[in-house]
């Protein structure tokens, strides 16, 4: 009898641990100097999320951060003010909620908005730690990232292909 109870407890505990790996992705894109750019943070297996804390670094000589949109409207969301983000070349984003949790199988988490100057800027998930993404029970979730980059051109090469406000999908 004791052996069955022990087995049942171990199976329950393992069921809580058996989670997929969360994936965070930033795009690679090209923009025109002086244009506005909307960059999505894409996610995969972003299920039963109770909190996230992300820092996205960028080259402040190439991009000017203006705002974040599309974030969850429930729970507590925080983003670095634009003036601070542009001084530091990084925007910090955090969110938490007890219930409901975030459930995105494969899609967009939120959008970062920038104005483009010139040059190439890496987009990097900085300072990722085990607690960067947690489930609704505050368990740390294994997370992989794909960093991106923005290449800003000084002249518009193809008016049909590049619009003054580019939205990356």
Domains, the chain, in order of start with CATH, read: 21-167 (2.60.40.680)
* pLDDT value of residue 11: 40
* pLDDT value of residue 87: 97
Question: Alpha-carbon distance 85 to 92, whole Å?
Answer: 8
Could you give the 3-state DSSP secondary structure of residue 152? strand
Q: Which two tokens stand for residue 43?
A: 């996610």
* pLDDT value of residue 43: 96
Tens place of pLDDT per residue across the chain (169 aa): 555 544 444 343 334 444 579 999 999 999 999 999 999 999 999 999 999 999 999 999 999 999 999 999 999 999 999 999 999 999 999 999 988 999 999 999 999 999 999 999 999 999 888 779 999 999 999 999 999 999 999 875 555 454 445 556 5
* pLDDT value of residue 98: 83
DSSP code per residue over the chain: -HHHHHHHHHHHHHHHH--PPEEEE--EEEEETT-EEEEEEEEEEEEEEEEEEEEEE--TTTEEEEEEES--SSSEEEE--HHHHHHHTEEEEEEE-SSSPEEEEEEEEEEEEEEE-SEEEEEEEES--GGGEEETT--B--EEEE-EEEEEESS-S-TTT--SEEE--
| Ramachandran quadrant class, 14 (left: phi over 0; alpha: psi -120 to 50; beta: rest) | alpha
Report which of 9, 50, 29 is spatially closest to residue 111, judged by C-alpha positions: 29
Cβ-based neighbour number of residue 17 at 10 Å = 7
pTM more than 0.85: no
* pLDDT value of residue 89: 97
In this structure, are strands 148-153 and 28-32 parallel, antiparallel, or unpaired? Answer: parallel
* pLDDT value of residue 67: 97
């Amino acid at each position: 009898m004791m052996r069955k109870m022990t087995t049942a407890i171990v199976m329950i505990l393992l069921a809580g641990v058996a989670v997929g790996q969360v994936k965070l992705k930033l795009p690679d894109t090209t923009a025109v100097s002086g244009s506005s750019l909307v960059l999505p943070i894409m996610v995969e297996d972003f299920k039963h999320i109770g909190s996230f804390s992300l820092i996205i670094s960028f080259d402040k000589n190439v991009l000017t951060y203006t705002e974040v949109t599309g974030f969850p409207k429930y729970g507590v969301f925080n983003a670095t003010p634009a003036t601070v983000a542009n001084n530091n070349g990084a925007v910090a984003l955090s969110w938490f909620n007890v219930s409901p949790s975030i459930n995105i199988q494969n899609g967009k988490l939120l959008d970062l908005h920038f104005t483009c100057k010139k040059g190439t800027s890496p987009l990097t998930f900085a300072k990722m730690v085990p607690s960067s993404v947690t489930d609704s029970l505050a368990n740390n979730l294994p997370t992989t990232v794909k960093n991106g980059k923005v290449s800003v051109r000084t002249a518009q090469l193809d008016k049909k292909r590049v619009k003054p406000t580019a939205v990356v999908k």
